[in-house]
């Protein structure tokens, strides 16, 4: 289902996107820092939401995360979890919106930049992808192989976009 939506968006925008929604992985270990800012009760809700995500119950996970986002709107890890859940539900626009909020949050590390870059690439928002890739490179907190894969995917998408425009 997600692949069909990505292909449809690709056809509508004229982009041949070289990355699929399934290529966006959730690195839970990179979410730990901002999650420690939550109360113990809220952390339990997050743990439950992560279990729901793992089991494929994305709708219920999204409901739980939405409640926490209303309560704590500036937690980058909550926003990343919400973006990932939106993506699993094939809501690319919602995932992009949440990833953008995660990147703007005052906490977290460069993982939020990499995550937004991946979602931006899926959306065909190549300048945003390039900008966030640059932020992640400057921070030097992300493995080089991960950044190289993202950069290669971005180059392919940019080449496709240039070919389409010529």
Task: List all residues 6 or more positions away from 99 whose beta carbon is below 8 Å from its beta carbon.
Answer: 79, 80, 83, 112, 115, 116, 119, 120
pLDDT at 143 over 90: no
Domains and CATH numbers, the chain: 26-108 (1.25.40), 110-166 (no CATH)
Among residues 95, 82, 149, 81, the alpha carbon closest in space to that of 125 is found at 95
Read off the pTM.
0.83
The top-scoring range by mean pLDDT among 1-10, 72-81, 129-138 is: 72-81
Among residues 66, 36, 71, 34, the alpha carbon closest in space to that of 49 is found at 66
Give the model's pLDDT for residue 105: 96
Token code pair at residue 84: 């990932």
pLDDT in tens, 146-163: 889 989 999 999 898 888
* Distances 93 to 55, 84, 123 between C-alpha atoms, Å: 23, 12, 8
Token code pair at residue 93: 């626009």
By percentage, how much of the chain surpasses pLDDT 90? 66
């Amino acid at each position: 289902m997600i692949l069909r939506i990505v292909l449809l968006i690709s056809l509508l925008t004229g982009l041949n996107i070289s990355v699929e929604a399934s290529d966006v992985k959730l690195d839970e270990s990179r979410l730990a820092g901002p999650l420690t800012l939550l109360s113990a009760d809220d952390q339990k809700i997050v743990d439950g939401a992560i279990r729901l995500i793992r089991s494929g119950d994305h709708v219920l996970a999204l409901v739980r995360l939405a409640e926490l986002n209303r309560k704590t709107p500036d937690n980058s890890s909550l926003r990343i979890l919400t973006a990932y859940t939106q993506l699993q539900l094939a809501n690319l626009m919602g995932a992009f919106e949440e990833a953008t909020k995660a990147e703007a949050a005052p906490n977290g590390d460069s993982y939020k930049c990499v995550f937004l870059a991946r979602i931006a690439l899926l959306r065909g928002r190549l300048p945003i992808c390039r900008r966030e890739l640059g932020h992640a490179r400057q921070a030097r907190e992300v493995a080089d192989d991960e950044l190289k894969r993202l950069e290669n995917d971005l180059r392919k998408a940019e080449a496709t976009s240039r070919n389409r425009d010529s």
